[in-house]
Amino acid sequence: PSTSDGATEMRKAVLVFALAFLALPATVLAQHDDHAKAALKEMTPTFQATFNAGDAAAVAALYATDGVLHPPNSAPVDGREAIEAFWAAALESGASAELTTQDMYWMGESAAEVGMFVMTGADGSHLDHGHYTLIYKMVDGDWKIVSDMWNSDMSPTP
């Protein structure tokens, strides 16, 4: 082969190597995204399980240390300690929750979830139902809730 053919082959080899090298980060990022999405999808079942077990500390651990609750008709509840106290008081009744995710949105190191909830009393009575919105952020490799807002779909009693 001539020298120009060797140079052409060398350029092709370098180009193939460069393209493969550039594609590698995209593959690694895609795998990271898939893992992050899978972990995020487990947050709601985990929340529901710990809530229904009456474990306020485990529920609060799902929130960022600077997380905020936005309960209906109430002032915001700021910080994990206050969130744990809020849930501890709420869980005293023995109520349980059923959460259904409707949509999830990923934005890199942040995500949002929109869903519906149904609250049932310890005696099986229907207590409430409505919608919620959660905002998550990645904190030290784990998803944490930074904002939790919900509202009732039930009409207020006069």
Cα dihedral across residues 130, 83, 106, 42: positive or negative: negative
H/E stretch holding 2 reads none
Task: For residue 14, give every residue at least 6 positions away whose Cβ sits within 8 Å of its Cβ, in sequence order, or none.
Answer: none
Q: Which pLDDT belongs to residue 118?
A: 98
* Minimum mean pLDDT range among 7-11, 26-30, 100-104: 26-30
What digits encode the pLDDT tens for the residues 123-139?
A: 999 999 999 999 999 99
The closest alpha carbon to 150, from 131, 137, 136, 135, belongs to 131
What digits encode the pLDDT tens for the residues 85-95?
A: 999 999 999 99
Pairwise CA distance, residues 120 & 112, whole Å: 25
- Token readout for 106 is 């990923």
The closest alpha carbon to 40, from 62, 57, 58, 25, belongs to 62
Phi and psi at residue 104, in whole multiples of 5°?
A: -130, 145
pTM of the model: 0.77
Residue 50: C-alpha distances to residues 20, 112, 157 (Å): 45, 20, 30
Q: What would you report as the CA-atom Rg of the chain, rounded to the nearest whole angstrom?
A: 24
Q: Which pLDDT belongs to residue 26?
A: 44
| Contact between 134 and 155 (Cβ < 8 Å) | no
Q: Which pLDDT belongs to residue 71?
A: 96
Average pLDDT of the residues in 113-119: 97
What digits encode the pLDDT tens for the residues 18-63?
A: 555 555 454 433 444 777 788 889 999 999 999 999 999 999 999 9
